[in-house]
Structure 1
């Protein structure tokens, strides 16, 4: 059994071919798609975060709105770039959104991916300390936020406060019990997956990963997941971790599907440099008739290892079309594979 969710980048563009013309469209349609996914029986509604782009950016208002409109589905991110985050505001916003959703948040965080602008985190007021890389800064922000989410007091109270304080050191409010165990790290390498295990975070592995062996993405991800679990077993975090992988899956069941996606049927993994120092592997799309998809995905080693599959959706094709895609995945792919 696997949990099946969707992952939306929330693209929008003022093009006559797009059903998502504005940022407002992207936000409101994200809420509608989460409601529709819950009605279908999907397990999760996850949203990507990209700053300075015509995509979803500020996650917590959206997560709170989805939480207020739904009752069962998990609500998450994949991922929040911690280079841009104030750990205190992150912990407060996350706690509030999780309370509104009654404990359904599953927050994916990470160092982030290649940016729209040069060193965008500097425009948010952050820069690496001396001798620190931007990746180090992102992990440092994450460590501080994780500590705050534990709910222990750490701040000295004012001896003459405006409002009465409870005894002892103060924590950030609102605090949502259990949220600390529902934080995921989006790991781009085996080393950061092992670091996530050391820190007691669940693992997210995307369709983009550092190329560490030249093997297909799903093989490298399987090894990454196994390294994560091996490291996790060396620590006593008090709970069992979860692991997700993201996949682009489009079952071809209608003429509309064929018109949109027939050209992607021969998709393969791609290898290349995402910056001067990083060679990466970008995963193929799974686009085929349902029987072929079942056979192809049955051989995906990382999907086999993971307990959660996040399916990327072409959000600019509209809520109705994406609802049908999710339904086709649940009915024609997940069921035959025994996932759901």
Structure 2
């Protein structure tokens, strides 16, 4: 059994073929899609976070709105770039969102990926400390965020406060119990996956990673997940970890599907340079008739290792079509793979 969620990049543009021509369109349709996805049995609504782009950027208002209009579906991110964040303020935002959602927040964070502008985090008022780089800064902020999710007091109270204080050091409020166990780290390498396990975070592995062996993408990703699980066990954490992988999967049910995605099925893994001249491998897309999809996906080793599958969706094509895309996977593909 797998949990099946969707992952939206939240694009918009003033294009005649787009249903999301403005930021408002994208935000409101994201809420509507999450509500509809819950109704058809999708387990999670996840959203990408990018800055300086016509894509979703500030996740907590959106996730709070979805949390208030749904009751079962998990809500999350994939991922928040910690280089841009104030980790203590983010603890408050995440806590409030999780309480509104009744404990359904699954928050993906990371040290971040290449963005639309050079060193975009500096415009938010951040810079690495002396002797650190921006990756170090992102991971340090991530650990600080985790530390203060535990609800332990750390701040010295004012002896003459506006309102009475409880005894002892003060913690950030609102505190949401259990949220610390629902933080995920987006890892692009084997080493960061191991680091995530050591620090007690769930693992998000997307459709790309650094090419560390020259093997096909799904095999490298499966190896990354196994290393993560071994490190988790070695660290002695008391709970079972969760692992998600992202995939572009389209079941060709009708002519509209074939028009949009008929060529995707011929795609293969792609090699490129992600950053700092590091070779990266990008996983293929899947698009075929349901019976063929089942055969192809059964050979994807990383899908077998993960407990959660995040289906990337074409959010610009509107809520109705995206519900069709998700329903096609639930009805025609997932049962044949034992996911449902």
Equivalent residue number for residue 111 of structure 1: 111
Deviation at 1:271, TM superposition (A): 0.7
Question: 1:78 matched to which residue of 2?
Answer: 78
Counterpart position of 2:44: 44
Cα distance in 1 for partners of 2:192, 2:276 equals: 19
Alpha-carbon distance in 2 for matches of 1:220, 1:127: 33
Q: For the residues of structure 2 that align with 1:107 and 1:332, how far apart are their CA atoms?
A: 29
Where does residue 135 of structure 1 map in the other structure? 135
Aligned partner of 2:98 in structure 1 is 98
Residue in structure 2 matched with residue 290 of structure 1 by the alignment: 290
Structure-2 separation of matches of 1:65 and 1:111: 26
Query: What is the Cα deviation at residue 237 of structure 1?
Result: 2.5
Write the distance in 2 (CA, Å) between the matches of 1:122 and 1:276: 18
How far apart, CA to CA, are the structure 2 residues paired with 1:89 and 1:275?
29
Determine whether 1:168 maps to 2:160.
no
CA deviation after TM superposition for structure 1 residue 275, in Å: 2.5
Whole-Å Cα distance in 1 between the matches of residues 303 and 142 of structure 2? Answer: 27
TM-score by length of 1: 0.99
Where does 1:18-29 land on structure 2 (aligned, <5 Å)?
18-29=18-29
Deviation at 1:296, TM superposition (A): 0.5
Aligned length: 340
CA–CA separation in structure 1 for the residues paired with 2:278 and 2:148: 32
Q: CA deviation at 1:277?
A: 2.5
Instruction: Measure, in 2, the Cα distance between the counterparts of 1:237 and 1:60.
Output: 28
- 2:188 maps to what in 1? 188
SS at match of 1:6: strand
Inter-partner Cα distance in structure 1 for 2:243 and 2:281: 19
Q: Which runs of at least 4 in structure 1 moved beyond 2 Å after TM superposition?
A: none
Corresponding position: 1:331 with 2:327: no
CA distance in 2, matches of 1:333, 1:111: 34
- 2:275 is paired with a residue whose SS is coil
In structure 1, what is the equivalent of residue 219 of structure 2? 219
1:261 deviation in Å?
1.0
Aligned counterpart, 2:53: 53
Counterpart of 1:257 in structure 2 is 257
How far apart, in 2, do the equivalents of 1:169 and 1:276 lie? 43
Equivalent position SS for 2:203 = strand
CA distance in 2, matches of 1:226, 1:236: 16
